[in-house]
Amino acid sequence: MSDRSNEHYFTRAKQSIPGGVNSPVRAYGSVGGTPRFLVGAQGAYVTDTEGREYVDLVASWGPAILGHTHPEVLEAVQQAAARGLSFGASTPGETELAELVRERVSVGDAHPIGKLRMVSTGTEATMTAIRLARGYTGRDLLVKFAGHYHGHSDSLLAEAGSGVATLSMPGSAGITAETAAQTLVLPYNDLDAVRAAFDEHGPRIAAVIVESAAANMGVLAPQRGFNRSLSEITRRNGSLLIVDEVLTGFRVGPAGWWGLEAANVVPDGGGWQPDLITFGKVIGGGLPLAALGGRTEVMDYLAPLGPVYQAGTLSGNPVAVAAGTATLRLATPAVYETLDAVADQLSVAVSDALSAEGVEHSVQRAGSLFSFAFTPTAPLNYDDVRAQQAWRYPPFFHAMLDAGVNLPPSVFEAWFVTAAHDETAVSRILDALPAAAKAAAA
């Protein structure tokens, strides 16, 4: 085994890092084989320790909408780093980014972001949003949907998507029964279940948290009007609606999935606003930055103005803020048109290849996010997604990897395109599809 091989690095990593990884899905547990250890990422491509280049459809799990290491983002980062890596004090850049986000996440007269607080990870953003909702309402219960992933804070791991789904875990050890009992988990896209939960527990429900369009059990867009109904139900009952746009925010459109609904790009979508929205991934342009924002009256419950505590040594880190600001400024409408066009082309091509081999599947789309479920009919919720022939994915994944295409190593993850996926990159993916579809059919 060459000492630059992926296998060498994996073996070594396992001796000093649990499972050899710092985030479970990276271990390839559900697809098998040796994870690729990456040493470079440029445009639409990533390179491993063996010098092999792959067309990348992971995009760092979302942030890299412009393509990896965009030269202008890199320059902004280098300049910020040269001025100082971290100050532990306020910077002008934070206000500039907050203003930019407020402006971008506005559609017509709707301005859901009154104020914004920056943190370092999506997990922190949703965890803080929940604490804030509890502090603001004085209530204890939280409603979430099965298969939705909101990061790994204790109250949010029940029946979660992403790595928890990939590992088929019902939740996580280490969470007290009391904490688990404060989260009500409901089936997605089921308004009757939401109404029933409010009928039974309404005065105790602080918030409903929902991925604006689910993308951590594969992609699963909400039924028409679902988010708006959640907004009506929570408002009527005096609880808050937390819309988690960590994954969809600034990726599916300039104002995220909420923006697509508000602008009626999603049919029958408009006419509602979240109380709180969480952001991550794209907002940091590939560096650790996330945020929560929402109604000023609610946001002002955060310390130092209000009684709900939240803080962070590296919150609003100047280098991350520079990366995020540069990324958002470069994410013009033309970028979103490219993402949509590439997603159209690839999702149709994968579907055609699978159909040509007689593999039953459903194409799952939410804006430029897409994935495939090996089911004959479109899934509506986590139970449907789990009932698919998931065993077809590992051979498909490995055939693509062998042909130089890096897909998410789990059937429960979205595929991420970037604006750097040009004709050359796309045709490399298209060329790999027939053999991969054949492998999935076997």
Q: Which two tokens stand for residue 13?
A: 């990593």
The window from 35-43, 116-124, 231-239, 328-336 that contacts ligand PLP (CB under 6 A) reads 116-124
Which DSSP category does 222 fall into?
A: P
Which of residues 6, 91, 123, 368 is near ligand PLP by CB under 6 A?
Answer: 123
Q: CA nearest 247: which of 123, 127, 353?
A: 123
Catalytic-residue membership of 9: no
Question: Partners of 378 in the beta sheet?
Answer: none
- Among the listed residues 48, 54, 56, 244, the single catalytic one is 244
Which CB atom, from 49 or from 121, has the smaller least distance to ligand PLP?
Answer: 121
The window from 9-17, 25-33, 75-83, 144-152 that contacts ligand PLP (CB under 6 A) reads 144-152
Number of C-beta neighbours around residue 50 at 10 A: 15
What is the distance between the alpha carbons of residues 315 and 99, in angstroms, rounded to a whole number? Answer: 17
Which CB atom, from 362 or from 410, has the smaller least distance to ligand PLP?
Answer: 410
Residue 30: CB minimum distance to ligand PLP, A: 16
Residue 120: CB minimum distance to ligand PLP, A: 8
Residue 162: CB minimum distance to ligand PLP, A: 6
Which CB atom, from 247 or from 331, has the smaller least distance to ligand PLP?
Answer: 247
Q: Is 211 in the site for ligand PLP (CB under 6 A)?
A: yes
Q: Is 249 in the site for ligand PLP (CB under 6 A)?
A: no
Q: Is 217 in the site for ligand PLP (CB under 6 A)?
A: no
What is the distance between the alpha carbons of residues 230 and 236, in angstroms, rounded to a whole number? Answer: 10
Q: Is 121 in the site for ligand PLP (CB under 6 A)?
A: yes
| Phi (first) and psi of residue 156, to 5 degrees | -105, 5
Q: Is 137 in the site for ligand PLP (CB under 6 A)?
A: no
Residue 33: CB minimum distance to ligand PLP, A: 22
Catalytic-residue membership of 244: yes
Q: Is 371 in the site for ligand PLP (CB under 6 A)?
A: no
- Among the listed residues 136, 149, 188, 336, the single catalytic one is 149
CB 320 within 8 A of CB 93: no
Q: Is 126 in the site for ligand PLP (CB under 6 A)?
A: yes
- Sign for the pseudo-dihedral over CA of 152, 6, 39, 410: negative
Catalytic-residue membership of 438: no
What number of CA atoms fall less than 13 Å from residue 345's CA on the CB side? Answer: 16
Q: Is 63 in the site for ligand PLP (CB under 6 A)?
A: no
| Residue whose entry in the numeric block shows the structure tokens 């789309």 | 365
CA distance readout (Å), 135 to 16, 49, 117, 301: 40, 48, 16, 8
Q: Residue 323: CB partners within 8 Å, gap ≥ 6?
A: 73, 76, 77, 80, 284, 285, 286, 287, 289
Q: Is 280 in the site for ligand PLP (CB under 6 A)?
A: yes
Catalytic machinery residues: 149, 244, 281
Provide the binding-site residues for ligand PLP, judged by CB under 6 A: 61, 121-123, 126, 149-151, 162, 211, 216, 244, 246-247, 280, 290
